[in-house]
Amino acid sequence: EHWRTFIVEEDFKFISQNGLNAVRIPVGWWIASDPTPPPPFVGGSLQALDNAFQWAEKYGLKVIIDLHAAPGSQNGWEHSGSRDSSQEWGKTDETITQTVAVIDFLASRYAKSPSLYAVELINEPLSPGATLSSVIEYYKAGYAAVRRHTSTAFVVMSNRLGPMKPRELFPMASGFKRSVIDVHYYNLFEDMFNNMTVQQNIDFVYNNRSSQLNYVTTSNGPLTFVGEWVAEWQVVGAGKEDYQRLAEAQMEVYGRASFGWAYWTLKNVRKHWSLEWMINNGYIKL
């Protein structure tokens, strides 16, 4: 019922008419065993992705397939398919081999679609559980899997969250053709944002986020992608104009990313997290 009603063809029409040119679509590893994935996962996601490609082609949009949940979970959070905070991905060769097979499945299925723009190999692997060596081993194998089917699709590699070095993937990614580093910037989820004012948040975007993005954007390295951001913060009692300024600041800074940005997310019950609501209510102008 959710897949049938939540995102429909009309949404792709809306996206195409509002200054957006691509969609980043999160999928779970069990999509490769659709329609009968192992429990507790539910069948139907492959048909939903097929529909998305059909609509994207109809409205001239590009698709970034984002493997948001890997076998065993790469970060222990619910959005990576973990119910109990366990983070097992990368601890065995089997989880990596299984994940590469999912990428191979997706790349082969959609390689001939004019809308396939990029394949994101994994979303938000969390250190120290996801070690740099396991992530690099996987990215090399995942890149090769995509290239078996397409030479034109970009291959997106998410920076690790947690303790890490922002350029730690550069030595590997710089040797790849059409490679992209994905960074996620939220003025949320860290204590440092709890007591910031409206202006402090906006200054943080113009100063700190700008320098962070500059640091990972190099002339001869991989392209950069702010794959997730949102015009939401910890500020209490902020007005519409404050939100407009926050959105504008982020679009100005993240617009410098060489691969562009993606808002999280198109639709959400929490208004500011819904790009559709933000556009329709004049909070974001593209």
Alpha helices (H) along 30-127: 45-58, 93-110
**pLDDT for the residue numbered 219:** 84
**Which residue stretches of the chain have pLDDT < 50?**
none
Residue 158 sits at φ, ψ, to 5 deg, of: -75, 130
Identity of the residue numbered 106: L
Other C-beta atoms lying within 10 Å of the C-beta of residue 137: 16
The dihedral through the CA atoms of 171, 130, 90, 80 has a sign that is negative
106-156: per-residue pLDDT in tens?
Answer: 999 999 999 999 999 999 999 999 999 999 999 999 999 999 999 999 999
What CATH architecture does domain 2-281 belong to? Alpha-Beta Barrel (3.20)
**pLDDT for the residue numbered 203:** 96
Measured CA angle at 233 (ends 232, 239), to 5 deg: 75
- N-terminal to C-terminal alpha carbon distance within the chain: 31
Look at the pTM and tell me if it is higher than 0.75. yes
Where are any strands of DSSP class E within the chain? 22-28, 62-69, 116-120, 154-158, 179-184, 223-228
The domain ranges of the chain are 2-281
For all residues of the chain together, what is the average pLDDT? 96
Query: By 3-state DSSP, what share of the chain in percent is helix, strand and coil, each rounded to 5?
Result: 40, 15, 45
Other C-beta atoms lying within 10 Å of the C-beta of residue 228: 21
**pLDDT for the residue numbered 192:** 85
**pLDDT for the residue numbered 55:** 98
Token pair in block for residue 251: 């679009």
- The answer to whether 150 and 107 have CB atoms below 8 angstroms apart is yes
